[in-house]
């Protein structure tokens, strides 16, 4: 049986979406549905346990983290920036969990 995946967004994720073009947003929403069906299908990222990347376009990456049955959408944006940003957001989420 497939897990019932729940998608949550990092609080700063919506700022990233504001920077995308309408075309890229459309691609993102399609990718989001694919991720919900099978979140572990893409490449695992180093530096973060259970973190994955989803290419949206040649230069835009969506980075997410799986925790239990929750998929946390961390960052979406240009390739290099999204990699730098995701580590900060992963860390900030873990700090909140500790408190």
Q: For position 65, which CATH number holds?
A: 3.30.2310.20
- How many residues does this entry show for the chain? 99
Q: What is the dihedral of CA 28, 34, 37, 43, to 10 degrees?
A: -100
Tell me the percentage of the chain whose pLDDT exceeds 70: 91
pTM, 2 dp: 0.84
The range of the structural domain enclosing residue 37 comes to: 20-98
Residue 11: count other Cβ atoms within 10 Å of its Cβ. 11
Q: Is residue 7 part of a domain?
A: no
What tens digit of pLDDT does each residue of 43-96 get?
788 777 789 999 999 999 999 999 899 999 999 999 888 888 888 888 877 666
Q: Is residue 67 part of a domain?
A: yes
Number of domains in the chain: 1
């Amino acid at each position: 049986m497939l897990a019932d995946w729940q998608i949550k967004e990092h609080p700063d994720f919506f700022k990233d979406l504001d920077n995308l073009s309408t075309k890229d947003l459309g691609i993102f929403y399609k990718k989001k549905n694919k991720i919900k069906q099978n979140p572990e299908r893409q490449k695992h990222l180093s530096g973060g346990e259970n973190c994955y990347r989803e290419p949206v376009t040649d230069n835009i990456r969506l980075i997410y983290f799986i925790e239990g049955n929750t998929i946390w959408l961390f960052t979406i944006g240009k390739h290099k920036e999204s990699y730098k940003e995701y580590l900060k957001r992963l860390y900030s989420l873990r700090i909140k969990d500790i408190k």
